[in-house]
Chains A and B, each alone.
Chain A
Amino acid sequence: GESVGLHLPTLSVQEGDNSIINCAYSNSASDYFIWYKQESGKGPQFIIDIRSNMDKRQGQRVTVLLNKTVKHLSLQIAATQPGDSAVYFCAALGRALTFGSGTRLQVQP
């Protein structure tokens, strides 16, 4: 089955800095990946997705990079703001969506 892991449980950054959250996946057959943001007391919120035929996708202040060779996914947040503080999950689609363990992003003012 799919196993999705994250490299760091907590990431602390200064406001205005760029944040990078990493994720590794195990199933080379996964062909769709999603990053979710979950704030306290809320359900996961879609941030950005990427298909396996791409290696980079950009949104508003966010970029997802996919390295299929090493089965690694990253989320880059530019000019991190206090409102970005949350837990971030990567997820990989195989038979169903499998979530990684989550990274808590703390933005220091």
Chain B
Amino acid sequence: DTEVTQTPKHLVMGMTNKKSLKCEQHMGHRAMYWYKQKAKKPPELMFVYSYEKLSINESVPSRFSPECPNSSLLNLHLHALQPEDSALYLCASTITGGAYNEQFFGPGTRLTVL
């Protein structure tokens, strides 16, 4: 198994809703990442987990709450989002969080906030 899976593929939510995005990999990777990608823009790093511990938070608003329950799973909990948070949310993983490691990306969750 050499892929990163993400669910759901699409999500539409209101500004008062609470929802979660899920990411899973079974490659034995110990570093996992959340990126946000707006249309026609490059991915922007949000969070990095290394060995299930949060190692990088790129000053992301607290309405986004990451969670890494185990080495295979990464969640992103969403609460009180704004319409400008609508984007493609990408998950990625690497063998470790160190240098020279290829990042494997999932297909993303397309989020629309109404």
A residues with a Cβ closer than 8 A to B are 31-32, 34, 36, 41-46, 49, 51, 89, 93, 95-102
Are A43 and B107 in contact, with the CB atoms below 8 A? yes
Q: Which stretch (B12-20, B42-50, B69-77) binds chain A?
A: B42-50
Size range of the chain B interface in the assembly: 20 to 34
Given contacts A44-B43, A100-B42, contact A93 B106 (CB under 8 A): no
Chain A residue nearest to B45 (CB atoms) is A96
Main secondary structure on chain B at its contact with chain A?
A: loop
B residues with a Cβ closer than 8 A to A are 4, 40-45, 48, 56, 58, 90, 92, 99-100, 102-108
Alpha-carbon distance between A45 and B107 when the two chains are bound, in angstroms:
10
14 A-B pairs with CB atoms under 8 Å apart are A34-B102, A42-B107, A43-B92, A43-B107, A44-B105, A45-B105, A46-B104, A49-B100, A97-B103, A99-B42, A99-B43, A101-B42, A102-B41, A102-B42
Q: Which residues of A contact B108 (CB under 8 A)?
A: 42-43
Are B107 and A51 in contact, with the CB atoms below 8 A? no
Are B90 and A43 in contact, with the CB atoms below 8 A? yes
